[in-house]
Structure 1
Amino acid sequence: MTNNVHYADTAYDSTRPQEDLPGQKGGPQLSGTQRQLRRQPLPHGVHCGEFLAVSTMPRGLKGHKRPGPEALHERYVVKGPNNPAILIEMITRVAAFFGVFGGGGVIVISFAPDVFGSVVWYVATTLFLILPGLLYFIGKLILRHNLVGDKNNTHYNRRTGFVTRTWDKAPMHLPFAEFDGYMYMIPTGVGSTGYVLNVAHRYSDDGDESLKFFLPWQASLWWEFLQQYMDISKPLPDIPEMEPYRALDPVTAEHDRRTGRPPDYWARMSPDEVDRRHAAAFAAASSYPWGRTREQALASGWRPSSAVLEEERRIEGERHDFASVLAGLTAVLSEHPPVAQARWQSDLDQNSGALHYRISLLPAHGVVGGANGLDQAREAVREALPPEVQSVVEIRIDETPDGELFYRRAS
């Protein structure tokens, strides 16, 4: 064992030479089906890394501050389609849907004349309220107490570096270093196309095809996610559901100590801010030029979500500072009766990244053009601006101004 006796010698480390990794060798013995499913390989390595885009719980943070029984710092479980627990979970969700909407309909029709207590009412209550309620609570009871086997899964073990699949009587137990990622398309049955991530064993027909997606980049990003999760040369993927386990993984704990990442980074974040970061990660992942390295993507103009969010914070800060400047202009404008209103707006120069501002002065009723002191008001506003912003501010007289109101003359 290595690293404080936490990781096995067989743990996956992308920095180790491939030939030094344990595991069977030999030529691939693939069936015709597997050869078809492995026609579109996905690159090895983590390049995009926008894992928040595929997070399963971006808003479910408040109740997830302590490590649970999942032990996500040691193993990540992908539940297979034949897992009985998944079927029970689907039934409880459908029952909840019918219980909420169908039960609401029963309550509404109960107020109709001659319906309450009738045969129709009893049938509707049974089908849309009582039966869904029973199915929901029975399903939750089964899942909570593990009354059905949680089986037919694929286990990715970070500590040992092995992938275990429990679908067959003889479980598959193979090193992660011997797996490659592939993607293939499937029809969804509703006229669209779905995408499957095939985590396939290089030297046999074995693999995991449980992960299905609506968008092709989601399959590519999940393959990156699994690689980072299994790689003990890297910290755990930084997503909300893994935050309670980061301190339990030595490599991740050392990374967080070195970078100053707080242990409750996600838990203390507001839901709105999490949504904002999730949206930025989703946009960055969907625009990533898949198939290229991160360096190539950055050179082509792609921007990670961290850079986009940093730019947004800078713009918000500059706009806030300019709004403070505008507050000081109200006294100047009050000395110029020809001005009825003043509005402002900002525009971002896409080439330079600089903000430019426009201040629009609305003439009072009966005042035309630059006459009657409007030009003097415009010059007074310009002189009142701090010198460092005068070059990026346009001041104009406008009969139909746009933008945010910051001054209105009292009537």
Structure 2
Amino acid sequence: MTEAQSTKSVAYSMEHEAVYAVTAYNSQNENLPKREKSRNNDSYFTKVARGNPIGLPTGTHCQEYLAEWQCNIFQQDALQTKKSDEQQCLEMRTPHLMEFWPTLFEWPVFSHILKHGFAWLTFGGGISSTLFLFIMGGTESVKQAAPHIAPLLLFCLSIWLLLKTITRGSPKLKKDTRFFRRTGMVSIYRKGQDRLEIPFEEFEPTMTYRTGAAGSTGFMLQLTHRQSDIVISHINDYPEEYQVYLEWERLHQFMDISQPLPDRIVTEPARQFDPVTAEYDRKTGRPKHLWRDMGREELRERREAAKKAAKDFPWGKTRAQALASGWKPSEQRIDWKALEATRQET
């Protein structure tokens, strides 16, 4: 199939309700494989590579996806475009159909990381160094240092602009791991071979601990295959365990066709194209562009409340158990009267 034909096929799936395959993952299926607690016959190094099992109850319970570290006002800005929802979905690799985990060892991913790094050096470094010099020696100190700092900042700015130009649009990845909601399959890259497809239900979520060069510890989500030694690692590591649990919960909900898509800012345009999600939004009355049209102050309030709720969630319990123990979801942590007063002032 050519790229043009593939684009037409995706566009057609957006306009017509697609049918979920019989292999699609459904957490309500009573015949799902039971989770493993351990594999006693594994060697020490195999156990280390596989990581520690995440002992969470099946399903999604916290659901505070606004607490994800990448959710921010910049994602909201990206939604406020003249492009149609269909076009935005195509540029995001149709997020109602596929979730993907990239790998660092691929140029499109590495170039995006470099772009963000040079952006920080250009703007963050420029502002912080100027403030430091001003505090230490005033305006005269800034003037004296400017001829030495300016060339470096201009170099960083040039590299950032170049990377920003060449990384426009969706990255064309080949080595990524792909999760398909409508088929329930996980597609794994293999060098020199066709991609390997394995049912999502055959994987177990595990967590590994990573120690950086400076001694800081990070936590990483992995998926380990029950019947083989295949281990898939998420590209990000997180400073706190609850962030790994939330990442797993989001992926699980994405693949589970008994539930709507996770309610995230970046994938909001895609909700209408997933049959289960569209029906859920219709029944609950969720606005089509809830995140896109939300005020900045409310978005910040919701995000801070979501972060606190996710961090406080008693992971390992169901949502009903958490609520019974006194846990409060994010919507109960916001001072809605104060927020309404802020809206009226603006």
Question: Under a length normalisation based on structure 1, what TM-score does the superposition of the two structures give?
Answer: 0.65
| Structure 1 segment 6-405 matched on structure 2, within 5 A | 6-19=19-32, 32-36=44-48, 37-43=50-56, 44-54=58-68, 56-59=70-73, 60-65=75-80, 66=85, 67-68=88-89, 69-70=91-92, 71-100=94-123, 112=143, 121=147, 125-129=150-154, 131-144=155-168, 150-166=173-189, 168-170=191-193, 171-210=195-234, 211-309=236-334, 312-313=335-336
1:191 aligned partner, one-letter code: G
Indicate the structure with greater helix content.
2
Distance (whole Å) between structure 1 residues aligned to residue 176 and residue 253 of structure 2:
20
Distance (whole Å) between structure 2 residues aligned to residue 164 and residue 31 of structure 1:
27
Question: Over aligned residues, Cα RMSD in angstroms?
Answer: 3.3
Shift of 1:313: 2.7
Shift of 1:102: 6.3
Instruction: Write the deviation string for residues 130-188 of structure 1: whole angstroms up to 9, x where unpaired.
Output: x2233222212221277x85233221111211111225433332111111111122212
Provide structure 2 residue ranges, at least 5 long, that are not aligned to the other structure. 1-15, 131-138
Deviates more, 1:163-172 or 1:245-254: 163-172
Distance (whole Å) between structure 2 residues aligned to residue 315 and residue 140 of structure 1:
39
What secondary structure does 1:96 align onto? helix
Give the conservation status (yes or no) of the 8 Å contact 2:76–2:291: yes
Distance (whole Å) between structure 2 residues aligned to residue 180 and residue 109 of structure 1:
61
Distance (whole Å) between structure 1 residues aligned to residue 168 and residue 70 of structure 2:
20
Instruction: Write the deviation string for residues 305-347 of structure 1: whole angstroms up to 9, x where unpaired.
Output: 12333xx336888x99xxxxxxxxxxxxxxxxxxxxxxxxxxx
Give the conservation status (yes or no) of the 8 Å contact 2:33–2:202: no
Q: 1:100 to 1:296 in 2, by over 3 A?
A: closer
What secondary structure does 1:180 align onto? strand
Distance (whole Å) between structure 1 residues aligned to residue 124 and residue 118 of structure 2:
10
Distance (whole Å) between structure 2 residues aligned to residue 313 and residue 28 of structure 1:
52
The structure, 1 or 2, with the larger RCO (C-alpha pairs under 8 Å, 6+ apart) is: 2
Distance (whole Å) between structure 1 residues aligned to residue 69 and residue 279 of structure 2:
23
2:101 aligned partner, one-letter code: V
Give the conservation status (yes or no) of the 8 Å contact 2:18–2:275: no
What secondary structure does 1:274 align onto? helix
Distance (whole Å) between structure 2 residues aligned to residue 221 and residue 99 of structure 1:
32
1:179 aligned partner, one-letter code: F
Distance (whole Å) between structure 2 residues aligned to residue 269 and residue 199 of structure 1:
35
Q: May I ask how many residue pairs the two structures share in their alignment?
A: 301
Q: 1:134 to 1:284 in 2, by over 3 A?
A: same
Shift of 1:279: 0.8
Shift of 1:81: 2.2
Q: 1:196 to 1:145 in 2, by over 3 A?
A: closer
Q: 1:100 to 1:74 in 2, by over 3 A?
A: same
What secondary structure does 2:28 align onto? coil
Match of 2:136? none
Instruction: Write the deviation string for residues 92-114 of structure 1: whole angstroms up to 9, x where unpaired.
Output: 223223333666779x899857x
Q: 1:134 to 1:110 in 2, by over 3 A?
A: farther
Give the conservation status (yes or no) of the 8 Å contact 1:217–1:286: yes
Shift of 1:217: 0.5
Shift of 1:255: 0.4
Distance (whole Å) between structure 1 residues aligned to residue 217 and residue 180 of structure 2:
31
